[in-house]
Chains A and B, each alone.
Chain A
């Protein structure tokens, strides 16, 4: 599967949203047996599982629309990094727990607005998925908020590390709201998701006594297949088994 293919706009849209969910699911899975407490191993794995479920629906749908015979497994396991369409936010390493929680806050708050908007999509598959996913994501967002409040408004050390985590992920948030391909009535225009996202995240940060970062740079290019060096390493781990034993089932 080499070379960048030109997909029909709806397939490209589903693939981009699916890749966000898939890559973050893989990242969160890395926390299993490494989280600060066993409940967090379970929580992060559960969130990863929800994201994987969303990714499966979206990747399968992208494959169906493309009509090139690629199923969810082909799309997940047999593309190289330049063919992935996720934002860079989801591929950067987990960092410490505060970095992961900061990313969970900004990403789940974004997904909440995204799926809320897609409830009204003219595309039955996207609207149907959104109806399920928005309820799951409400739990993800709540989980992140509880930790941001606890760490941000906690001890001097927990506050400093939560702020540092936030500062680290913030430059990657801009990409979530870059213009996507125009599919009026079907896709959600990313720019329209921003005000509600901003309001929500800002109110959480102020309650947690954290400063909203003002970064001097921003990431870009994920949606065009331009990624950080971290994605290739993530894919090598995620795809290794499938590429070693193509088509294996159990």
Chain B
């Protein structure tokens, strides 16, 4: 890829298009908020190549996400789009943007805490998760696992509402 200003600008546009695609399971979030679009390049043959990283290896939304990105780039004028699944570096919830975290909270899902605490060492520290409905820190985990691989099931002791919490990963 040539590094002239026009190419840089074209790349930025393509990246913005790919990152603005909504997540199929959490439509309040864009793929950019989620941090799963790692790179977009114009290949030598003129086609557009997208590096996409899965949140979970078994995430069933991956095929839909790839199709949606392809469609969005087609609409933006790219004829040939290639989606590359990139496993490394592994996706982490730390890549989620501040805007994404705010949107999750507004949608009723508690955003993820720092990932290092979830996976480092044998003792897993459970950070208190704030209720996205009433803001109370007096909550408890009902189950590590929820309606999608990326969420856990929590309930609030203050307002008694159940809620989803995005798991730190």
Q: Which residues of B lie under 8 Å from residue A49 when comparing CB positions?
A: 56, 58, 60, 149
Inter-subunit contact B147/A138 (CB<8 Å): no
Instruction: Indicate whether B124 reaches chain A with its CB closer than 8 angstroms.
Output: yes
Inter-subunit contact A143/B145 (CB<8 Å): yes
Inter-subunit contact A50/B57 (CB<8 Å): yes
Inter-subunit contact A132/B87 (CB<8 Å): yes
Stretch at the interface among A39-47, A161-169, A175-183, A236-244: A39-47
Q: How far is the CB of A123 from chain B (nearest CB, A)?
A: 11
Q: State which residues 56-91 of B face A: CB under 8 Å.
A: 56-60, 86-91
From known contacts A131-B88, A142-B124, infer whether A51 and B58 are also in contact, taking CB-CB under 8 Å.
yes
Inter-subunit contact A42/B58 (CB<8 Å): no
How many positions in chain B have a CB within 8 Å of any CB in the partner chain? 27
How many positions in chain A have a CB within 8 Å of any CB in the partner chain? 31
Q: Which residues of B lie under 8 Å from residue A52 when comparing CB positions?
A: 58
Q: Which residue of B lies closest to A146 (CB)?
A: B144
Q: How far is the CB of A108 from chain B (nearest CB, A)?
A: 12
Instruction: Indicate whether B54 reaches chain A with its CB closer than 8 angstroms.
Output: yes
Q: For A128, give its contact among B87, B124, B153, B169 (CB under 8 Å).
A: B87
Interface centre among A40, A49, A124, A127 (most CB of B within 10 A): A49
Q: State which residues 109-153 of B face A: CB under 8 Å.
A: 118-119, 122, 124, 142-147, 149, 153
Q: Which residue of A lies closest to B124 (CB)?
A: A142
Inter-subunit contact A131/B144 (CB<8 Å): no
Inter-subunit contact B169/A135 (CB<8 Å): yes
Q: Which 10 A-B pairs have the closest CB atoms?
A: A53-B58, A53-B57, A128-B87, A128-B88, A131-B90, A39-B143, A43-B145, A46-B145, A49-B58, A132-B90
Q: List 14 A-B contacts (CB under 8 A).
A: A39-B142, A42-B145, A46-B145, A49-B56, A50-B149, A51-B58, A53-B56, A125-B87, A128-B87, A132-B54, A132-B56, A134-B119, A139-B145, A143-B144
